A = this chain, B = another copy of it.
Amino acid sequence: MFETLIDIESLQRLFNPQSIAIIGASTDPQKIGGRPLALLQRQGFAGAIYPVNPASDRVQGLPAWANVADIPGPVDLAIIAVPGKLVEGALQACAAKGIGGAIIFSSGFSEVGETGVDAQQRLLAIARRTGIRVLGPNCMGVVNFTRAMPATFHPAFAASKMTAGNIGLVSQSGAFGGFSHYLAQDRGVSFSYLITTGNEADVELADGLAFLAADPSTKVILAYMEGCRNGPKLLEALELARRNRKPVVMVKLGSSEAGAAAAASHTAALAGSDEVFDAVLRQYGVYRASSVEEFFDIGLACSVGKLPPDARVGLVTPSGGMGVLMADDASRRGLDVAAMPQQAQRKIRDIIPFAGTQNPIDATGQVLSDLSILKQVADIVVTEGDYSSLVFFEGALARTQPSSPLADTWIEVARRHPDTLLSVVGLNRLEDRVRLQQAGIPVFEEPTHATRAVSALRFFARTFAKPWQSPSELQCQSQAGTLEAKRYSEVDALALLSSAGFPVVEHRLVNSATEAVEAAKCIDQPVVMKVVSPDILHKSDIGGVKLNLRGEGAVADAYESIMAVAKQAAPNARLDGCLVAPMVSNGVEVILGTYRDPTFGPVVMFGLGGIFVEVLKDVTFRVAPFGIEEARSMVGEIRGAAMLEGQRGQPPADVEALAQALSRLSVFAKQHESSLESIDINPFLVLPEGQGAVALDAVLVTAD
């Protein structure tokens, strides 16, 4: 049975409570303890609200209690807005009352250094002991839009009645949470939940993400992450989102060194190595945004639009230029700006003589003066162009003309073609934008943001369509093992890999010149000989490797010479003898490796040999374990991937065998997680198609 790290059920009372106690409820609605009460009443939260304030009988019009214990009846959620020093006691009282979850606004915990860390640990201890779930401390709370519940002190929720949407947002930063509400409003979209996790004493971003992945009112998840301390938990949440076909869009900070330093100091969380993090997101089909506007634009597209089944996109504009700009961007992002069928092109020219009809379709200024022409063109393009996505650029039309009839036109087009993803780019008024988006049409102001959004939706369509062996499945299939705690020689390492089904070069360990000659004879082709010792890592550097040996004399001499230099160079090394193996070279040299990432555990690396790794740092990563499909993607995403397709008259390499090996290595690494530090297989030779691949050398280091 696979052990789960996240308990979604226990979060229900925290995020979706029937009753809320506010510890430290203030009579001043502008104070941090007064604001949630004011906001909850302002937005009309339908559950019970219990202000707790020892100094007043009534707070902001509601009866107040001196202690949590005094509250009559059960309480699901407590908002704790008291000075840091009083938090621990308050939390204990909540737990004693049987409250299911607590939101702690108060600061003065891990963000202020050592004493704060200890205090925060004590909060976690209470949560673990009593089962109460704790959000924060130092967080901005939770807004449950589906229940009109702003359990927060952020003033953003005072302004207007909130509307529920289908975007679930989880953020480690509280300030970003409040900011987000304005950004969503400006775009005419809204949230199902807005969860801020702050210092994450107990509930982490991953918990919130998993909650949203399971929540039926949430269609798309936006995750704003500053640092990840618990990799496996995040992976579990991402796997759940993927299983439930929920697109996840993420901003993960700390991709540069300057950024990483600040992220660590801010959240007191470790920013994992960014390259590994990036690989994790690719592996789990998460869209990583690098700006706030991208984050929200892609979220909007997922919230409003649909996932296109193929990459064909049609682009319609009233002027050529913006069509070309979008075509450039779409092509760069891997969309297919396929030409219209000839017949459809003729039909459009029948309506608009000087139209550009290939794709982008330049409907010319004529459409500006007659929306019915726009509708006709749209019908032809959608019906006969066979595009799964269509982007309409309006230009300034929504400003030069009344904007509503224009929106009506698009809505009618969308109704007539319900299977097509329509997007509109223009300068629409917010109310028209909302109408368009309610009709399933994402709206943008920037042409390339529309093509970027289509490509993101396509990314999720591909992600969900891809055969995927989930890490948990792969893990279940194989048994955990423990490596013998010893120093592994090359021969030991190759033997171990071989026994795990990993292809290694045929080789023999010999202990005399005679045995070496004997071994070379059996191999019947030029051989390579290498010193075998767990204590000598850089065999070439000391002259412990001889290549391309032919004939008994050369082999015997090589044995003596290798043993002599090894004894001289490393007098205290354990010498196991010499390895004799055939000289293989008709393939592409690559490097495979695995090591333990502090956040995500065993990670597998892949790269091409030589300058690709040394000069271009052209490598890629995956978290172990992963299936062959994922391994294939991995092979395809390095810059020098063309080397495997056959260069300079060479045959294509056996990429299938390479992918097989990568997946197998990943499973091996995961199985031996507890005792394995790292493996380097360099070179791993990928032979021509159909001939497989072999490890020519391996270095294995066990964990201390």
A residues at B contact (CB < 8 Å): 107, 111-112, 155-156, 159, 172-176, 178-179, 181-182, 186, 224, 226, 251, 253-263, 265-267, 290-293, 318-325, 327-332, 337, 354, 356, 358-360, 362, 365, 395-396, 399-400, 427, 445-449, 611, 614-616, 639-640, 642-643, 647-648
Contacts and interface: CB of A to CB of B under 8 A. Distances in A.
Contacts of A255: 328, 332
A354 B111 contact: yes
Contact of A362 (B259, B262, B290, B399): B262
Contacts of A111: 354
A337 B258 contact: yes
Given A258-B330, A362-B262, A253 B179 contact: no
A328 B292 contact: no
Contacts of A259: 324-325, 327-328, 331, 337
A318 B175 contact: yes
A310 B73 CA distance: 65
Contacts of A260: 324
A598 to B, nearest CB: 19
B362 A292 contact: no
A516 to B, nearest CB: 30
Nearest to A361: B262
Contacts of A354: 107, 111-112
A391 to B, nearest CB: 13
A446 B321 CA distance: 26
A218 B259 CA distance: 37
Contact of A642 (B176, B266, B427, B615): B615
Contacts of A179: 322, 395-396
Contact of A325 (B178, B251, B362, B648): B251
Nearest to A447: B292
Contacts of A328: 253-256, 258-259, 290
19 contacts: A107-B354, A173-B319, A181-B396, A224-B321, A253-B328, A254-B324, A255-B328, A256-B332, A259-B324, A259-B331, A262-B362, A266-B356, A266-B362, A267-B320, A292-B446, A293-B445, A293-B449, A611-B611, A614-B648
Contacts of A446: 291-293
Given A258-B359, A263-B320, A320-B263, A325 B611 contact: no
B400 A155 contact: yes
A176 B321 contact: yes
Contacts of A266: 320-321, 323-324, 356, 362
A237 to B, nearest CB: 20
A173 B325 CA distance: 12
A57 B607 CA distance: 80
Nearest to A451: B291
Contacts of A400: 155-156, 178
A323 to B, nearest CB: 6
Contacts of A399: 156, 159, 182
